Structure 1
């Protein structure tokens, strides 16, 4: 396949955007998950002395040596289950919103791109916030949960559905401005660096 054939592949397909977004999201979260596990423990309000780390390297070494080689991946299944649909929805919603509102000038283009990023973020975070809730409970030192499904069912029975969305508004307060700026910057750079797309 030469470059012109590749560039002429259909990009308006919702399925293509959903698949590409899902695969990218899952890969991003899985590759960085061990580091995320250390970060979660380092941010814990009252960490156990066995789980107090000063660096990523120290955290990974301590986790593996005292809890087993797979411990830095504890909770990764919750992220995989959430990241696929969340990123698929994000990228397909973004492209759909962007294509629905035609823009005639630079200001309209930026407003449309920002709105598309914000709308897509609402859907993405509606899935990722509960997934992160389960993931963080499983990442903690001496977590009592053996699987993400056990964790979800016990948390649901003990705390109700509201617990899964407790940080949703906080997440949106961070992510909506971030994604609006991110998308507008991304699209502007695309226009400068690759005007013919």
Structure 2
């Protein structure tokens, strides 16, 4: 089916940007909310020099220890920082993706290069908003974090380290997220080509394609995620033995020095377990809201057309003669 024949995929120009932004914001918040405790576990497991009380053997062991010794509330520390960043970041992310995909592909399906380009461009906007939120979130997630609230954490970082601290990991974040999002979008669209060729609204295919896309992208970019966490939380993850880590190259050397090659895959299971359902949720919620919003606007347009319908003279005459 040509994409122009599917109104769900090609929303009218007057409404598509707002539709994609609203759907994207809802998808981003849902994605991070449902799986947030696993994100906390991933951050803890990526610390290079963890506290002996926070040296976890597995995802289950980490969750069990956090809940038992610190309380279940500690699995959602930093949650408000994530919500604050995720809404606007994902709104711009999906709107930019859809717009650039449509322009680069000429409105045709199956152009994976266009999908990858759109993913790269969308990531630049997403990370510019999400990176400061990530710094605050991860500072609050680490074991023994002294911060009592998102606001106090933000103020303390700003006062003691300056605004640059919020973008210390931005280059690494982009280096990770550009391939991550490109791989995710290309895999998702590829799976949709296989499972849902007509590109109708089909929750099952959106969930399956999203989960596979998240798992593939998470595995490929895992080493960069470890380095990003180190840059964001080095004051806590590496309490001693380390000089200040200022960039991606330094972070790579530090991880290798302390843990070898295996260090780049610390927390891999937690990340994949987190990304599969969260990406599936993100895509399915996004597609759902896009579909619902489009259907609502389509119904409103139909009602409006009927209300403004004026019969022609020929039709009036025909109706009169029929009576």
TM-score bracket for this pair, using the shorter chain length: 0.7 to 0.9
Q: Is the 8 A contact 1:23 1:84 kept in 2?
A: yes
- 1:45 equivalenced with 2:42 (yes/no): no
Partner residue, 1:19: 22
* Compared CA separation, residues 57 and 181, structure 1 to 2 (3 A): closer
Deviation at 1:77, TM superposition (A): 1.0
* Compared CA separation, residues 192 and 52, structure 1 to 2 (3 A): closer
2:69 pairs, out of 66, 83, 89, with 66
- 1:94 equivalenced with 2:106 (yes/no): no
* Compared CA separation, residues 59 and 119, structure 1 to 2 (3 A): same
Deviation at 1:181, TM superposition (A): 2.9
Q: Is the 8 A contact 1:118 1:179 kept in 2?
A: yes
* Compared CA separation, residues 19 and 66, structure 1 to 2 (3 A): same
Q: Is the 8 A contact 2:102 2:108 kept in 1?
A: no
Q: Is the 8 A contact 1:11 1:17 kept in 2?
A: no
Larger deviation, residues 184-193 vs 157-166: 184-193
Q: Tell me, in whole angstroms, the C-alpha distance in 2 between the residues paired with 1:86 and 1:102.
A: 24
TM-score for both structures, normalised by structure 2: 0.54
Q: Tell me, in whole angstroms, the C-alpha distance in 1 between the residues paired with 2:107 and 2:138.
A: 45
2:160 pairs, out of 137, 158, 161, with 158
Deviation at 1:134, TM superposition (A): 0.7
Q: Tell me, in whole angstroms, the C-alpha distance in 2 between the residues paired with 1:179 and 1:191.
A: 18
Larger deviation, residues 85-94 vs 168-177: 168-177
Deviation at 1:106, TM superposition (A): 8.1
Partner residue, 1:111: 113
The Cα offsets for residues 123-155 of structure 1, whole Å up to 9 and x where unpaired, read as 111122211111110011121111111111110
Partner residue, 2:239: none
Show structure 2 runs of 5+ residues with no match: 1-5, 200-323
Partner residue, 2:131: 129
- 1:77 equivalenced with 2:80 (yes/no): yes
3-state SS, counterpart of residue 70 of structure 1:
helix
* Compared CA separation, residues 142 and 181, structure 1 to 2 (3 A): closer
Asked which structure has the greater CA Rg, the reply is 2
* Compared CA separation, residues 38 and 15, structure 1 to 2 (3 A): same
Partner residue, 2:311: none
1:57 pairs, out of 60, 64, 68, with 60
Q: Is the 8 A contact 1:103 1:112 kept in 2?
A: no
Give the aligned length: 190
Q: Tell me, in whole angstroms, the C-alpha distance in 1 between the residues paired with 2:7 and 2:105.
A: 22
Show structure 1 runs of 5+ residues with no match: 1-6
Q: Is the 8 A contact 1:94 1:116 kept in 2?
A: yes
* Compared CA separation, residues 104 and 148, structure 1 to 2 (3 A): closer
- 1:168 equivalenced with 2:170 (yes/no): yes
The Cα offsets for residues 137-188 of structure 1, whole Å up to 9 and x where unpaired, read as 0011121111111111110111111111111111111221232233233333
